[in-house]
Amino acid sequence: MPKFYITTPIFYVNDKPHIGHAYTAIAADVLARYHRMSGDETFFLTGTDEHGIKIQEIAEKQGKQPKEFADEISAKFRLAWDTLNISNDGFIRTTDSAHEDAVRKALSEMYKQEWIYKGSYEALYCVGCEQYKTKSELVEGKCPDHKREPEVHAEEAYLFKLSHFAPEILKRIKSDTIKILPVTRKNEVVSFLEQEGLNDIAISRRKEKVAWGIELPFDSNHTCYVWVDAFLNYVTGLGWSGTGSNLSPETLNLKFWPANVQLMSKDILRVHATIWQAILLALGLETSQTLFIHGFFTVDGQKMSKTLGNVVDPIEIAQKYGADVLRYHLLREISFGSDGDFSLKRLEERYESDLANGIGNLVARVLGMTEKYTSGEVPQVTTSALSNIWDVYDAHFAKLEPDQALSAVWAFIGELDKFVDTEAPWVLAKTDRGRLNADLYILLENLRHLGRLVWPFMPATAEKIFAQLGLPDELKVGYDEGKKWGGLKPGTRVTKGDGLFPRLEPA
């Protein structure tokens, strides 16, 4: 059975999740659900990144211990993912003791093999990014993302021989052994590596500077650089214990490495394409298969920021409109891999046009007619009247284009609407009962397919469709079997329940 391992970045616990984080989680969830549904053995990992100076500073400001603070925010991420129906198999926290133990072991291993050595360094550091910056990355002396002047770090530290791995990483990226998608992002990384190369980086701070971190096992005066700790989540989250490159021993989940898709936005691509891959090479593990860089989006045309007060809370949106509405809107509105914009106005427009008047109306119409003309009983099976939707859908998923798969599903809804309009069952009810029954079967069976098609995107909606079609166990039907014509058996009772997407109350 093919396997599919997908990860999101682990999110900083400096604040509760916003819609940008939710987008990554939802997109990963759609891909994970698709792969699970199509029979792949799937593991979907997400979690929280909890160490480092940024968290230490914020906790201090709030008069809390960093762990106590991290506990609170990490719980908010979990609550948000539950609210959004995210089906992650694992949720890793970098303060989990198994993770911390594994990081210590991995560090010892790298130190033993002399990939880590003691030295000193002088560099500019942005606390907002938790990353070192080159002068060329600054705009008017400040980090362009955090509008804050970087700190000058000049101190003793342990360094990681990143420079050693640069040629191998470049080779693997160029040959797509480490695939970076969309290809424009690959090109950016390649030209960066070709022009600037990689320098060794500090992977520790003295404890008096950063106390909130994993202590280096070979020098208790230092804590580990938060990114090294964080990257390892992708393997410790599968149960990797920190040593050895054999990734299929007793712990079942380790067979999932390497990740098929590591999802993130452009802000953290460079570190994933360089430091993370180098750590994997240093530890003798396989490098990532695909880094997929989805778009970074603004809200109402502006970068989300606390100062602007335009930070969107995904839980509030899910509570007001429903999780499926947010899931649908984000996947449909933002072309996967391109930057985009989020606005409530657009969400409400799509709610009306695509959900209430689109899928909601179609399902209600077909079930209403079935109740009216056949007392809710599914008529005799007709010969197949299914479009090539499944081929199109699978092809888009194979190319990591869930947004295109979703558009194709909405085109399919449009075809079914057209079928109702041209066949006019209300006329056939008076003129041709045979054709009416055949048409109703075609429509009802197509709704079953529609439920399956929307499930990865809108699981709660799909389940409502199956319940209304009298198919509570539909999701237990295997993928290929479910794609065949005729799954809906004659005589099944359907019921037009509540509308899937009631009209929005005027604000």
* Active site members: 18, 21, 126, 129, 143, 146, 303, 306
User: Does the footprint of ligand MSP cover residue 102 (CB under 6 A)?
Assistant: no
- Per CB under 6 A, the list member of 4, 5, 9, 441 interacting with ligand MSP is 9
Q: Which of 453, 469, 441 is nearest to 384 (CA)?
A: 441
Return the C-alpha torsion angle 186, 189, 190, 195, nearest 10: 160
User: Does the footprint of ligand MSP cover residue 304 (CB under 6 A)?
Assistant: yes
Q: Which is nearer to ligand MSP, 20 or 66 (CB)?
A: 20
User: Does the footprint of ligand MSP cover residue 10 (CB under 6 A)?
Assistant: yes
* Distance separating alpha carbons of residues 453 and 371, to the nearest angstrom: 24
- Write phi, then psi, for 120 (nearest 5 degrees): -145, 160
* Distance separating alpha carbons of residues 187 and 181, to the nearest angstrom: 10
Report in angstroms how near the CB of residue 302 gets to ligand MSP at its nearest.
11
* The one segment of 8-16, 53-61, 71-79, 191-199 that binds ligand MSP by CB under 6 A: 8-16
Q: Which residue has the tokens 């060329």?
A: 136
* The one segment of 154-162, 188-196, 265-273, 448-456 that binds ligand MSP by CB under 6 A: 265-273
Q: Which of 172, 193, 401 is nearest to 294 (CA)?
A: 401
Distances (CA, A) of 465 to 16, 375, 446: 33, 18, 11
* Distance separating alpha carbons of residues 172 and 116, to the nearest angstrom: 23
Q: Which is nearer to ligand MSP, 9 or 379 (CB)?
A: 9
Report in angstroms how near the CB of residue 261 gets to ligand MSP at its nearest.
13
Q: Which is nearer to ligand MSP, 297 or 501 (CB)?
A: 297
* The one segment of 21-29, 216-224, 280-288, 370-378 that binds ligand MSP by CB under 6 A: 21-29
* Distance separating alpha carbons of residues 298 and 19, to the nearest angstrom: 10
- The CA R_g of the chain, rounded to the nearest whole Å, is 26
Residues 230 to 249: which contact ligand MSP by CB under 6 A? 230-231
Q: Which amino acid is at 380?
A: Q
- Give residue number: closest CB to ligand MSP: 20
Q: How many residues bind ligand MSP (CB under 6 A)?
A: 18
Report in angstroms how near the CB of residue 445 gets to ligand MSP at its nearest.
38
* Distance separating alpha carbons of residues 344 and 299, to the nearest angstrom: 9
User: Does the footprint of ligand MSP cover residue 341 (CB under 6 A)?
Assistant: no
Report in angstroms how near the CB of residue 42 gets to ligand MSP at its nearest.
20
User: Does the footprint of ligand MSP cover residue 268 (CB under 6 A)?
Assistant: yes
Count other Cβ atoms within 10 Å, centred on residue 83: 18
Contact 250, 239 (CB under 8 A): no
- Per CB under 6 A, the list member of 4, 5, 11, 160 interacting with ligand MSP is 11
- Per CB under 6 A, the list member of 4, 6, 16, 23 interacting with ligand MSP is 23
Report in angstroms how near the CB of residue 481 gets to ligand MSP at its nearest.
35
Q: Which of 394, 497, 501, 402 is nearest to 449 (CA)?
A: 394
Contact 263, 26 (CB under 8 A): no
Chain residues in the site for ligand MSP (CB under 6 A): 9-12, 20-21, 23-24, 49, 230-231, 264-265, 267-268, 296-297, 304
